[in-house]
Structure 1
Amino acid sequence: MKWYDNRLVPWVLPIFIVILWQLLVQYKIITTTLLPSPLEVVDAAIRLSESGDLQTHVLISTQRALIGFIIGGVIGFILGLINGTVLFFERTIDTTVQMIRTIPHLALIPLVILWFGIGEDAKIFLVALGVMFPIYINTFNGIKNVDRKLIEMGNVYGLSRGKLFTNIILPGALPSILVGIRYALGVMWVSLIVAETIGTDAGIGFMATSAREFMQMDIIVLTIVLYAILGKLSDLIAKLFEHRLLKWHPAFRKK
């Protein structure tokens, strides 16, 4: 095993950045009015944890993100599935979906507020809309790029349409679908960050907005760190599913 295969190696750079950040603030190269030190951010996290506010806001944001991800993911997967497998739907639906996909979903915030108000529905809608397209495009392309020779071989062996899909098409498209899920998880948190600035009274975005009004730089940076941690955890879970579901794939076999 090479040295860079060690599981601790990916964390060397983040740890170095945190140490450098602490030293720059400690020696007043960067003032705390511009950027608080890591220790101040940790202290803010401990303070909010003791009051229970941190856990409450993180839980609410996570719930919003997951609900939006499930709704958008299911819609994107179904659209990619039917457009990728049925030529009629590809011809009639795909162009419309691609046109809508090019519209920045966060630019729709004024419309979303008019449609849904400033409640939970608006936030979940924005997250779902952001998540839907990465999963759609990767599912669609994954199905379209399945080796045609394998499909022909399945037909030769007399596989039914159901078995052809479950045994050849879906496994062949799965790597692309999982890439779409990983990308969508990143979009999920980006969408949520913006969505939580829309008249909310709870969530990580609410913490950031409230801290900005009172110039609490330590809490503002804490919210950024929380989004980064949640994003990394989401990616780790997605990678775990990749390795579990793609054991047969050469790129995911343990060496």
Structure 2
Amino acid sequence: MKKVYLLSLCCLLLTQVHYAQQKFDKWWDEIEELELQGKSVSALEKAEKIKRKADRKENPQQFIKAFLYVAKYKLILKKDSEEEVYQDFLAEIEDQNAPTRQVLYSFLAESLNDYYKENRYRINQRTNTDSIARDFLTWSKDDFQSKIMSYYQKSLSSEQKLIEASLKDFTEILNYGENYNNYRSTLYDVLANRYLTFLKHHNYNPENKRSHYLIETEFYGLPKDFVSIDLSAYEDGTQKIETLKTYQDLTRLHLQQKNALSV
């Protein structure tokens, strides 16, 4: 009798989850149609509705997707709304728990980097100050680099919760492929690789003369030897060392998991 009850309960829960997903899909179809009609105000209102529903139902993927859509529409509809969107990010990050908080940190870092790239010429004319202002619109190039790297690093905090989180809950918003289940098997992997993509392709100090090639053979040894290297001796003022540190953390994780595919 107990087995029959548990089976019935599981079927009921699966039905409810399926129905909830259908509702979200229907709402997103409506938003797409509103966009095609050029009705951004109505699309914003619908996205805000999804955001409230997803938060109430603790659906992190739908919540983050809706939050990003709301931010997009604010930027489209409101003049000089960049600072408002930035503060929205900070407020939601403060209000959310792991792993939603970490995913938002990653998107905030990416958004700030996109803003810097689009406004690079003007930003590079600014002089550095002793402290970073609250208003990101006044930041210098170094301020952007510092904050972007800081937010990416915070996206990798609460490591154990990122490892334990259900990766499929974030499939749609993080746009990863089918091989991630073989090679990057946790949410920590996905967020770490987003950070690595930034580090490898967005160098804020390309003219730095202190950069050097790492030719020591220990960097090309076995994974178990690589993770034991003390990188503090190699600080050179570039993003190269931060890249190696992140690779160390990823390698250490997969060694602990005994994931032969990644090592």
- TM-score > 0.5 by shorter chain: no
TM (norm. structure 1) is 0.31
TM (norm. structure 2) is 0.31
